[in-house]
Amino acid sequence: LMTQPTFNPDLAGSPLHHDVVLLERWSVALNRFKRGDVVTLWSPQNPDLLTTKRIIALEGDLVYPLPPSPTTPIRIPAGHCWVEGDSAYQTRDSNTYGPVPLALITSKVAYIAWPWGRRGLVANGLAKAKGRVRRLGGSVP
């Protein structure tokens, strides 16, 4: 159980709006991740900061980063993923620091417990990444 900045992009960035969420760690232990999963991970830029992001791509996939990042596609290396915040352009994510080692992921966000009106399972959504990810999968040298 932890609090995280809201998954509602309209409220993101407000210090008064946080979600209370339930975390699931079996996916991490079994190394089972899917595109669209919302996960907690240690920031690659600040090892003391636990953050929440959505997995957009997995190893072998090609990702076209959001501007102003380079427009050439990036192939996700083995043992890595591409993560993004749900509030585009208001977050530090893989568009800033590139692919992230899966070893930095600590848990999967499974359920929003608060606020009461938003309680429920976390949607596995990838709509904002549509057209920016080519799912190739498989092993990467």
Alpha-helix residue ranges (DSSP H) falling in the chain:
26-29, 94-97
Residue 140, in any domain of the structure: no
Residue 24, domain CATH: 2.10.109.10
* The most confident of 4-13, 90-99, 130-139, by mean pLDDT: 90-99
The total domain count for the chain is 1
Residue 43 lies in a domain: yes
Domain range for 79 is 2-134
> What pLDDT is stored for residue 61 in this prediction?
94
Residue 24 contacts residue 40 (beta carbons within 8 Å): no
Quick check: is 59 in a domain? Answer: yes
Judge whether 130 lies within some domain: yes
- Cis peptide before 15, with omega less than 30 degrees from 0? no
User: Does residue 93 lie within any of the structural domains?
Assistant: yes
Q: What's the half-sphere exposure (Cβ side, CA atoms, 13 Å) at 118?
A: 15
Q: What pLDDT score does 88 carry?
A: 66
* Residue 79: inside a domain: yes
Q: What is the pLDDT of residues 1-41, one digit of tens each?
A: 444 454 544 444 444 457 788 888 988 888 889 999 999 99
Whether the per-residue pLDDT at 127 is higher than 70: the answer is: no
pLDDT in tens, 57-67: 999 999 988 87
> What DSSP letter does each residue of 33-79 carry, written as one string?
--TT-EEEEE-SS-TT-EEEEEEEEETT-EE-PPTTS-SS-EEPPTT
Q: What is the pLDDT of residues 41-87, one digit of tens each?
A: 999 999 899 999 999 999 999 998 887 767 789 999 999 999 998 77
Cβ neighbours of 50 (radius 10 Å) = 15
102: in domain: yes
For residue 1, give the amino acid letter. L
Looking at the domain assignment, is residue 139 inside a domain? Answer: no
